[in-house]
Amino acid sequence: MQIWWKSKMFEAIFQILKVGKSLELIMASYQLLNELDKCFPRAYLSNVDKSNSSCTALLEPVVVKEAWSPFSLGSDATCGERQTANKNSGGPLDSSGFHLLIQNIVKVTDEMNSQALNIKSLGNMFVFQYLVNVLEGDFLPRNSMYKETMNWTLLRESLINMLLIMELDMSKKKADMQGHTTRADGVRTPLVEIIIDELTYNEDILSPFLQVFNEPKWKLEIALQYFWKYIGKPSVRTRRSNGPTEDATFGGLLKYFSNNTNTKNIIRKIGTEVAQLLLAHAFQAYLSLSSEQQSVKGISNSKEDASISSLEICKNMISAFNSFRGKDGHMEILPLGKEALFTAATILSTK
C-alpha cells in the first residue's frame, strides 16, 4: 500500500510538471520531485550490518524495482495507455515520447511569439532536466554497484540502457545498410536479434511474447526481422554500390508474398500459423504507428511505407492471407488473423 501511495504521489506531481500553466506550478513541482527522489531513491548502496563481525562494513546494492518511474519501458502499461500519455502530456514517457520532448525543446526558438508558448517551452525544459536527473540518479549508483560487485545485470537494467539500447541498435542498422560503418564500430549483437533468436528457437513463447509486448514500433520491427531471418536479409549498401537496397519495410514484406514461390518458401520454413500470427501483429503495430500522425523514424528504412498508402497495405494484407490459404488448403485462420483481415476490409470499405 505504501509503494502504491508513493507512486500515485509521484505520478500526480509529474503530471503537474508536464501540464503546468504557470511558472510557479512548474518550479514547485520540479523542486518537489527532486526532493522526493532524494528521499526515495530508485537505486542506492546500503551498509550491511556487521555488528557481530570484526570485518569492515560492506556496501550492499539495493534496487527498488517497484519504484515509480517517469519512463514507460516495460509491458506493465498497454500500448493505448502509452500513446494517450504521450499525446496528452500527462503520464510517463516511452522512447517515442522522450524523442518528441527533445524535438519540442529544439523548436523552442520558434515558440517565442506569446507568453503561453514561452511557459510551455520552459516547462518542457524543466521536464527534460528532471528526466536527466532521474537517469543520472538511476545510473550512477548502479555503476558504483557494478564496480563493487561486477554484476552486469545492474547496468543492463538501468533506465538509460533500456531507453536507448534498441534505438542505438536501429541507428547502427541503418548506417550498416548505407555502408557507413566499419569494423571499428564493434560486433555486439543487437538486442532485437537476440530476441529474434530466442523466439525462433522456442516458438511456444512467440504468441505470448507478442501479446504482452506493447511497443508498436519494436513489435513491428521484431515481426519484420523474424520474416527476414528466413527470407534473407535485405542487401547492405556498400561504398561501391549505388543501387537501391531491398525494401525492408512492412509494405515491402507484403509485396514479397505476392510471389507464389516466395509464399511457398516461407510457409515451408515457418508454417502458416506462425506466418499469419506475425503478419497480424505487424499489421496491428503498423496501424498503431499510423494513427500517431507522425513519421516513424528508426524502423527499417526510417520512413515506414512512405510511398505506400494505407489502402495498399490493407489490400496486400488480404492478398498475403489469400496466398497462404492457396498454398495450404488445410490452413485455419487464427482469431487474430480474422481480426486483422476484418480491420483491413473495414478500412477498404470506408475509403
Collapse the DSSP code of 122 into the 3-class scheme (helix H, G, I; strand E, B; otherwise coil) and give the result.
helix
Of residues 145, 154, 149, 119, the one with CA closest to residue 20: 119
C-alpha cell at 72: 514507460
Q: Measured between alpha carbons, how far is residue 110 from residues 20, 97, 107, 113 in Å?
A: 20, 20, 5, 8
Q: Residues 199-212: what's their mean pLDDT?
A: 85
In this structure, what DSSP letter does residue 236 have?
P
Please identify which residue in the block is written with the cell numbers 477498404: 348
Say how many C-beta atoms besides its own lie within 10 A of residue 193's C-beta.
Answer: 15
In this structure, what DSSP letter does residue 18 have?
H
pLDDT of 133 above 80: yes
Residues 342 and 334: beta-carbon distance below 8 Å: no
Residues 155-188 have pLDDT tens digits of: 777 887 777 776 667 766 777 777 766 665 565 6
pLDDT of 307 above 50: no
- Strands 43-47 vs 59-63: parallel, antiparallel or unpaired: antiparallel
Q: Is 190 left (phi over 0), alpha (psi -120 to 50) or beta?
A: beta
Distance CA 132, CA 127 (A): 9
Residues 67-109 have pLDDT tens digits of: 888 887 654 444 444 454 444 556 788 777 777 887 777 676 5
Residues pairing with 45 in the sheet: 61
Q: Which helix (H) or strand (E) holds 60?
A: strand 59-63
Distance CA 141, CA 136 (A): 9
Residues 287 and 211: beta-carbon distance below 8 Å: no
Contacts of 246 (CB under 8 A, 6+ apart): 234, 235, 252
Contacts of 239 (CB under 8 A, 6+ apart): 179
pTM: 0.55
Mean pLDDT of the chain: 76
CB half-sphere exposure, 252, CA atoms < 13 A: 22
pLDDT of 56 above 90: no
